[in-house]
Amino acid sequence: MAKKTNGPAEQQGTLMDIEPKNAKKIVAAARKYKEATGERLFWLKEEVKYKQDILELVKAADLKRDEDGNFKFTVDGVAIKITPCDDKVSVKFAEEEESDGG
């Protein structure tokens, strides 16, 4: 049930009308966020391009699949696994395994 008032209804300011004390910090953080989002989208496009390159090269190599239907191989210390149904690509360099402790 709505609350009744005796006088004229008070107008409440919207959030757009109220500037927080730390507005400059919020705007600075928002600018950094927007910049990071742009960079992430740029790198995502690059990732997709390189992933497609790997998939096309593996397909052209006419490799045999393992018992799960995946492609797995290691060349020059680089382990590559491709799950074709998801077009999932996993690349792990030997240096990463050593630093991960595995």
List the chain domain ranges.
22-100
CA distance linking residue 102 with residue 100, whole number of Å: 5
Tell me the pLDDT tens digit for each residue of 22-42. 989 988 999 999 899 889 999
Q: Look at residue 2 and tell me whether its pLDDT is greater than 60.
A: no
Tell me the pLDDT tens digit for each residue of 37-67. 889 999 999 999 999 999 999 989 999 999 9
